[in-house]
Amino acid sequence: MRNDISEILISEDELKNIVARLGEEISRDYEGKNLILISVLKGSVIFMADLMRAIKIPCKIDFMAVSSYGSGTKTSGEVKIIKDLTESIEGADVVIVEDILDSGVTLSYLKKLLLARNPASIRICTLLDKPERRKADITADYAGTTIPDAFAVGYGLDYDEKYRNLSFIGVLKPSVYQ
């Protein structure tokens, strides 16, 4: 698995620092609020698991699955709901937890959909941001770090459902998908 990676973008230690910082920011901003973290499956599960433990105030969690990608590395522009939330978010302070904000198509669709359910507030927390590739008009309220336009895998991010279990974030060798 390691042989398919050309470069380590974010090491395990760097990931820990990023997640700790985001956890502090969210803990500070949501003190006394009705916080619910919504993880977008499957890419954000590892980030979500670490982030929720870096948050020092009470919070609920829920999961949603949408898809805008097939098994390729470029967005198809289509977003499908595969799994919906289990609870109402009416009146809640929602933070959507995403692995990566790329074209932004997925998150702008999801944000609109969740806003229609009348939460008290809604913000986006993404581990990675690839601003060069943005197509939709959307920005993250909390972002771990910006990465260049390369296909990243590891720490939850996949290529063709693989590499999610790498403990760092790396760049996949183009020879793997070409």
Picked from ligand IMP, Mg ion, none, the partner binding residue 75 (CB below 5 to 8 A depending on kind) is: ligand IMP
Determine the distance from the C-alpha atom of residue 166 to the mean position of all C-alpha atoms in its chain, rounded to a whole number.
16
Q: Which of 10, 63, 92, 106 binds ligand IMP (CB under 6 A)?
A: 106
Q: Which of 18, 30, 35, 102 binds ligand IMP (CB under 6 A)?
A: 102
Between 57 and 113, CB nearer to ligand IMP: 113
Torsion angle defined by CA atoms of residues 119, 125, 129 and 135, in that order, rounded to the nearest 10 degrees? 0
Residue whose C-beta lies closest to Mg ion? 43
Q: Which of 5, 15, 38, 43 binds Mg ion (CB under 5 A)?
A: 43
Residue (of 29, 32, 107) closest to 66 by Cα position: 107
Give the footprint of ligand IMP on residues 73-92 (CB under 6 A).
75
Between 33 and 164, CB nearer to ligand IMP: 164
168 touches ligand IMP (CB under 6 A):
no
Q: Which stretch binds Mg ion (CB under 5 A): 10-18, 39-47, 81-89, 129-137?
A: 39-47
Between 40 and 89, CB nearer to Mg ion: 40
Sign (positive/negative) of CA torsion 67, 51, 108, 33?
positive
DSSP state of 155: T
Phi-psi region at 77: left, alpha or beta (left = phi > 0; alpha = psi -120 to 50): left
Beta pairing class for 60-67 and 121-129: unpaired
Sequence-distant (6+) residues with CB within 8 A of 84 are 64
Which residues of this protein are in contact with ligand IMP, per CB under 6 A?
43, 68-69, 75, 98-107, 151-153, 157
Active-site positions? 102
